[in-house]
Structure 1
């Protein structure tokens, strides 16, 4: 029997630790008004996971660890388009695809388009302005856009949600499943994993 089936193993222990850090990073991303987020931003800058300097301390150790998992936090972050004013049409993940439109584009996207929101590509009648982008995007992605309701002002502000979770809320279990490439069903059957998932902090 392999080590994976005999016990947790060092690799999976590391993944569990990373899953906790991913969840912490997600909270940092969405809880702008939380005191600890404001303290971190004031002390280490608005993007503390991109540039980390200073003497070694407990705070910096945590930040360095979170820096390693930050790409996974961004990979799990999804946008629910409401008024379309916040979501970047090309760079953000707002369609079912695991790739953004910029990386999936069939042609070079004009520079002047790169910073445009989803709302920019909507007419006054709340319809997609297909002529502005359809020649740049593969058919599979165009079908995803066609199945997405255009943004409307009355829907309120765009919202971030956690894509790997069916509820849209970040959990240690969903973060682990994303990192491990697993549905988590096998782990959920084991007493050890059930205890981990039921821990209040998960």
Structure 2
């Protein structure tokens, strides 16, 4: 009788062109679908189910929460809370009028992290929740006095290369960082 050998699950999940069977990893697929739900909580605010979840779990304004309160809640809500950092990591903003984008907490100037991670000293209380439009002078130029002494020179240069938002610039636009089009797709996440 021929002896059977076991095949590692990682090998089974490899693409067929690499000698596997091309099966998707269940854990990666589950995470991708949870991230999709998290992404919808941010981008589909008109959907009834999003309104219900945001109301039930106390996400009151349309801003992107930095964390989710998962102390009480359904199993799904707790699972979304576990992967919430991955949702936040995928968010990028295109500036319009700058009224929705948080200057320190949202990824708009740099690709890797929000500006809060580059702050060289504690932020003054009045600046912590500033929007990008709050950091623009009436003449449409950056209000350097609000933040220039709080950030390193390389970050200041990056901000200087960005045109300040205008009131007539339209709405700020959220985009998915792991997509060339800016649209969220589950299949692009399976290997992230």
Q: How far 1:76 sits from its partner (Å)? A: 1.0
Give the counterpart of 2:70 among 45, 51, 55. 51
Unaligned runs of 5+ in 2: 1-6, 15-22, 61-66
Does structure 2 conserve the Cα–Cα contact (< 8 Å) formed by 1:79 and 1:93?
yes
Q: Secondary structure at the match of 1:91?
A: coil
Tell me the alpha carbon deviations over residues 34-55 of structure 1, each in whole angstroms, 9 at most, x when there is no partner: 011122234444379413526x
**2:47 matched to 1:28?**
no
Which residue pairs with 2:135 in the alignment? Answer: 121
Change (3 A) 1:42 1:105: closer
Q: How many residues align?
A: 172
Change (3 A) 1:4 1:140: farther
Unaligned runs of 5+ in 1: 55-59, 181-202
Q: Secondary structure at the match of 1:79?
A: strand
**2:11 matched to 1:6?**
yes
Give the counterpart of 2:168 among 145, 151, 154. 154
Which residue pairs with 1:96 in the alignment? Answer: 110
In structure 2, C-alpha distance between the alignment counterparts of 1:138 and 1:42, rounded to whole Å = 39
Mean Cα displacement is larger for which, 6-15 or 86-95?
6-15
Does structure 2 conserve the Cα–Cα contact (< 8 Å) formed by 1:23 and 1:175?
no
Q: How far 1:4 sits from its partner (Å)? A: 7.1
Which residue pairs with 2:95 in the alignment? Answer: 81
TM-score, normalising length: structure 2 = 0.78
Bigger radius of gyration:
2
Give the counterpart of 1:41 among 54, 66, 73. 54
